[in-house]
Amino acid sequence: MRFYWKTLILGMLQLIGWSQAASPASAFIFESRGMKLQRELVETKAGPIWAMTFLPDGGLLMTLKSGEIKRYDLEKKTFASIGNVPGVAVFGQGGLLDVVLSPNFAKDRKVFLSYSKQIANGEYTTALGVGTIDGKSLRDFREIFVARGSSSRGEHFGGRIVVEPDALWLSVGERGVRENAQDLTNHLGKILRLTWDGKPHADNPFTGRKDALPEIYSFGHRNPQGLVKHPVTGEIWAHEHGPRGGDEINIIKKGFNYGWPKATFGREYWGPAIGQPRIPGTEDPIHQWTPSIAPCGMIIYNGEALPGWKGLVIAGSLAKTHLNLTEIRNNQMVAEERLFAKDGLRVREVEQGPGGDVWYATDDGSLFRIRRM
């Protein structure tokens, strides 16, 4: 009887895109875009990494959803915990989210963190703060921004950060309440542009309007969990989760409406359409995935170590359990490659290492590095 129920449950999970993870080899040789590459399994007990960033000394700083920050020594292959991390609300998909260094980190030692926060009414929202890394401790941490709008639901916090010398970008999900994405009186379902103090950027599109919040740069987003500055064009690119289908890659434009939930290629999980794929007054994605891959983490590769990957959008896939390589030309997808799907591991985060290798982390606590042979 136990075997019957286990088999039945596994079968149902596989129908919705879940599979049992295979144990990946410690070293795996493969070919991609004319290159012979090796994937190395660096660690298996890193913990469920949500985000990571490389330090100037070559160390790797990582956040865990549970509220921890760890530093990984690449040479010694050892972890050290960073102390004095602020408390976060670990709730549903929320917890400690992104970590991004100041462009002047070698001098100011500043790191920016996003996280979920419980507010006075017992609901939750997305927040942003900054502190200074001092050895094995985070000091002088201060919260600089709390998104207006909240929900008791546990999904869609967004939380990706881009730091520029004169601006901070923050993605905020609509918290599972669709109408928020079109409502300019809250920050949910938006991409925001702020100053380093968490104030509205002076050049934002809705500055001076009484019916819109001044921090908003674009709206109509569902749950953006990829946000990067394009290394060549300087544009801000994002990807976001659709529902059943309709995951998107977007180039973020000032004041534009990206449609959710009115314009979407996605459908209700039980089948019916939600909106129209395209409607006037909204910006079409430059690429959309149907069925959903559930993208999370994102880089646009600009290193020399892997020349065949130069310019590709590289993202993790949670639902389809692979590393996704997408080639975009003239704002259209022209090629896609899906790597390591047979592992069955949910890929949460992707980063480009200081030497140009690609690193990625999975929800089971594994950390991988890809290099050219």
Q: What is the DSSP letter of 271?
A: S
Q: What does the pLDDT average to over 144-168? A: 97
Q: What is the per-residue pLDDT across 169-194, written as a single tens digit (0 to 9) for each?
A: 999 999 999 999 999 999 999 999 99
Q: Which fold would CATH assign to domain 44-372?
A: Neuraminidase (2.120.10)
For residue 135, what pLDDT is reported? 87
For residue 329, what pLDDT is reported? 97
For residue 58, what pLDDT is reported? 85
For residue 22, what pLDDT is reported? 60
Q: With b meaning 16 or more CB within 10 Å and e meaning fewer, what string describes 38-74?
A: ebeebbeebbbbbbbbbbeeebbbbbbbeebbbbbeb
Q: What does the pLDDT average to over 159-175? A: 98
Query: What is the value of pTM for the model shown?
Result: 0.93
Cα–Cα distance, 69 to 96 (Å, whole number): 9
Q: Is the pLDDT of residue 224 over 50?
A: yes
Share of the chain above pLDDT 90, in %: 90
| Gyration radius of the chain over CA positions | 20
Determine which one of 156, 187, 221, 322 is catalytic. 156
- For every residue of 133-168, DSSP letters joined together read EETTEEEEEEEEEE-S--BSS-------EEEETTEE
Q: What does the pLDDT average to over 110-132? A: 96
Q: Is the pLDDT of residue 94 over 90?
A: yes
Q: What does the pLDDT average to over 3-20? A: 40
Q: What does the pLDDT average to over 157-165? A: 98
Cα–Cα distance, 161 to 228 (Å, whole number): 8
For residue 259, what pLDDT is reported? 98
Q: Is the pLDDT of residue 250 over 60?
A: yes
Residue closest to 175 by CA, chosen among 228, 252, 119, 215: 119
Q: What is the per-residue pLDDT across 257-312, written as a single tens digit (0 to 9) for each?
A: 999 999 999 999 999 999 999 999 999 999 999 999 999 999 999 999 999 999 99
Q: Which amino acid is at 366?
A: S
Geometric angle at alpha carbon 97, from 93 and 99, rounded to 5°: 170
Q: Which of 7-21, 102-116, 206-220, 284-298 has the lowest mean pLDDT?
A: 7-21
Q: Is the pLDDT of residue 15 over 80?
A: no
Mean pLDDT of the chain: 93
For residue 202, what pLDDT is reported? 97
Q: What does the pLDDT average to over 337-349? A: 97
For residue 119, what pLDDT is reported? 94
Cα–Cα distance, 156 to 65 (Å, whole number): 14
Q: Is the pLDDT of residue 25 over 80?
A: no
Q: Is the pLDDT of residue 165 over 50?
A: yes
For residue 121, what pLDDT is reported? 84
Q: Is the pLDDT of residue 8 over 60?
A: no
The answer to whether 138 and 131 have CB atoms below 8 angstroms apart is yes
Residue 39: φ, ψ to 5°? -105, 125
Strand order in the sheet with 322-329: 295-300, 313-317, 322-329, 332-339
Q: Is the pLDDT of residue 18 over 50?
A: no
Residue 187 designated active-site: no
For residue 45, what pLDDT is reported? 86
For residue 353, what pLDDT is reported? 96
Domain boundaries, the chain: 44-372
Residue closest to 177 by CA, chosen among 229, 125, 247, 130: 125
Q: What does the pLDDT average to over 189-210? A: 97
Q: What does the pLDDT average to over 307-321? A: 98
For residue 120, what pLDDT is reported? 85
